[in-house]
Every structure is written in C-alpha cells, then in structure tokens.
C-alpha cells in the first residue's frame, strides 16, 4: 500500500506529505487506523524526531515523500489518498469482519450493520468514533431503515449515559454552510432517500445544525456541541 502511494506521489510530483487514514483524535497519542486497529502494536516507520506532538496539537498522521510517518495538525491542508474495496463480494466480506470486531449488529433488511452508542458524545466526536470503527454516523436511505433504527433505539434507550437528553440520537447528516441539509456523504436528504422530519422539526431550537433521529424514527435538528447518544453504520 505504502509503495503504491509513494509511486503515485512521484508521478504527481506531490512535494508535501499526505494524510493517511489514522488519527489520535479520540485519545491523544493513541494512533488508530480508521478500521480501529491500534497502531501501537505495528511496525511503523516514523521520520527522525517524530512523532513529536508539536505545540501539543498534532493528532493526525501523514506520510512523507520517502514513506516515513509524522504526526501533524489535523487542521493542515494536505493531499490525501482514498481507498475503496473494489468488488462487492470483497466489500461485504470486509464489512462483515469489521462488524464482528466492533460489536455491530448485522441487518439483512438493509444490508448494513449498526451500533447504538449509549455513551453520549458531541456530533463531531461521534463522527470520529464511528470512523475509528470503520463505519460512519448512520444515514437513513429509506423508510425501512428509519423503522429499523427506531427499533434499535428502543432496544438500547436504557443504556444511554451522559446525554443532554435521551429522546434523540445523533446520525449522519447536518446543515452545511450553504444552509442545506445533507448527509455526511454530501447528498441532499431527498437524494439519500429519506427526508421525513419529526413533527414541528427542524425548529433550530437554540441553534441546531447537526442531525439526529427522534425515538419515533424521524429526523430532528440537534445542537452540535451537546452530548447525545449516537448510531453508527457500516455499509458495503
């Protein structure tokens, strides 16, 4: 993988480092890959003097031109590579093993697996937590999925801990800077396939730009900086 990345960097003459899919956002200094692998136990090659957590502000990992790693600020603007498993069969196998490793529940009706996180977090940390497990904040694509999440909600409502309140849980959509509501993958709610707000929502109560699901399975706008339970999804 690193060899292929280095080759591409040379072809495209990238002068700087590139972000790789690992961060220590959730726990400082504990770098984890996006599928939840703890990098402490792997043979990583760091550049000399790295990781140095400069200014106590370096929670992301980047790879330099010779393939060595360094910790960098997550706010830097750097190039990055994406990777997607190529065949459907390969993706499904990969997903099922991730689901197993991280305690997700497989649902044949939607072909995804889900995890209800009762330990409350703010929307951004919820987003990072789902990523660290190889998933994403749940996205509702149809009514079947809305009903399914309502059921999962009911099963776990008693486990909610530290939430500002427990009648809704964060999921993967928000109001972006252009004022439009869209999923974390950039699709409008209508294009994603489900746009049914709970009665009298969105009400922007006290300023609400982040997406959540009410315990009735319908959409709500929620405050981004208050802790709530949240639902992650891993999909092929």
Applying CB under 5 A, which residues contact Ca ion?
201, 203, 205, 208, 220-221
Q: How far is the CB of 168 from ligand MMA (least distance, A)?
A: 5
Q: Which does 142 bind (CB under 5 to 8 A by kind): ligand MMA, Ca ion, none?
A: none
Binder to ligand MMA among 172, 208, 213, 219 (CB under 6 A)?
208
Q: How far is the CB of 174 from ligand MMA (least distance, A)?
A: 13
Q: 50 vs 221, which CB is nearer to Ca ion?
A: 221
Q: How far is the CB of 115 from ligand MMA (least distance, A)?
A: 22
Q: Is 50 helix (H, G, I), strand (E, B) or coil?
A: coil
Query: Distance between CA atoms of 74 and 130, rounded to whole angstroms?
Result: 17
Bond into 202 cis (ω within 30): yes
The side-by-side arrangement of strands in the sheet containing 32-33 is 32-33, 18-23, 60-63, 69-72
Q: Rule CB under 6 A: is residue 131 a binding residue for ligand MMA? A: no
Q: Rule CB under 6 A: is residue 63 a binding residue for ligand MMA? A: no
Q: 80 vs 176, which CB is nearer to ligand MMA?
A: 176
Q: How far is the CB of 218 from Ca ion (least distance, A)?
A: 11
Helix (H) or strand (E) holding 99: helix 88-101
Binder to ligand MMA among 142, 188, 196, 203 (CB under 6 A)?
203
| Contact (CB, 8 A) for 215 and 231 | no
Query: Distance between CA atoms of 220 and 54, rounded to whole angstroms?
Result: 39
| Contact (CB, 8 A) for 141 and 192 | yes
Residues 6 or more apart from 50 whose CB is under 8 A from it?
68, 69, 70, 71
Q: Rule CB under 6 A: is residue 171 a binding residue for ligand MMA? A: no
Q: 112 vs 122, which CB is nearer to Ca ion?
A: 122
Name the residues that contact ligand MMA, by CB under 6 A.
164-165, 167-168, 201, 203, 205, 208, 220-222
């Amino acid at each position: 993988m690193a060899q292929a990345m280095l080759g591409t960097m040379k072809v495209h003459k990238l002068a700087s480092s590139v972000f790789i899919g690992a961060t220590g956002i959730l726990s400082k200094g504990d770098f984890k890959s996006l599928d939840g692998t703890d990098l402490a136990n792997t043979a990583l090659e760091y550049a000399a003097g790295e990781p140095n957590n400069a200014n106590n502000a370096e929670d992301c990992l980047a790879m330099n031109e010779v393939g060595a790693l360094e910790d960098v600020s997550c706010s830097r603007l750097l190039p990055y590579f994406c990777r997607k498993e190529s065949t459907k069969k390969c993706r499904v196998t990969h997903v099922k093993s991730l689901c197993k490793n991280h305690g997700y529940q497989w649902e044949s009706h939607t072909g995804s697996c889900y995890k209800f996180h009762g330990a409350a977090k703010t929307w951004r940390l919820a987003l990072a937590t789902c990523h660290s497990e190889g998933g994403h904040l749940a996205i509702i694509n149809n009514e079947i999925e809305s009903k399914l999440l309502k059921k999962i909600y009911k099963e776990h409502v008693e486990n909610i801990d530290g939430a500002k309140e427990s009648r809704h849980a964060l999921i993967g959509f928000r109001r972006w800077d252009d004022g439009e509501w869209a999923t974390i993958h950039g699709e409008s709610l209508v294009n994603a396939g489900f746009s049914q707000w709970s009665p009298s929502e969105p009400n922007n109560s006290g300023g609400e730009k982040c997406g959540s699901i009410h315990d009735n399975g319908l959409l709500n706008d929620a405050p981004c900086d208050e802790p709530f339970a949240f639902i992650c999804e891993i999909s092929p």
